[in-house]
Amino acid sequence: MTYRVLISSRARRDLSQISRWWAENRDATQASQWYDGMLAALRSLNENPAGHPLAHEDERFPYELHELHFGLSSRATHRALFTIESDCVVILAIRHAAQREVTPGDISR
């Protein structure tokens, strides 16, 4: 089964803010590579999204909360939090791996 991938407005803001921070504080080329790579990783959720692990915070939510890990090197620096609704994957937020865990008040469907 192929799923549609929807990126919430919150997750789009997260993408932009992370990429902008990386460009301003690290390297603009790497920021662009990260942004493009993360988008490709998100789009890849159209196949087998349930194969990704449940997030540590899953038990706090009234729906399954999965996470996709991503980084430019072999070390994942960020995670995309998503849920699966019927034939659709909804990306709810993108966070740095070192950020505190999310609560239901932080993100919504």
Average pLDDT of the segment spanning 45-65: 96
On whether the CB atoms of residues 101 and 56 are closer than 8 A, the answer is: yes
Question: Is pLDDT of 109 > 80?
Answer: no
pLDDT of amino acid 61:
95
4-96 has which CATH code? 3.30.2310.20
Mean pLDDT (the chain, rounded)? 94
pLDDT digits (tens, 9 = 90+) for 56-104: 999 999 999 999 999 988 888 999 999 999 999 999 999 999 999 999 9
What is the pTM (predicted TM-score) of this model?
A: 0.94
Q: How far is CA 8 from the centre of its chain?
A: 10
CA gap 32, 13 in Å, rounded: 15
Report residue 92: phi and psi, to 5°: -95, -35
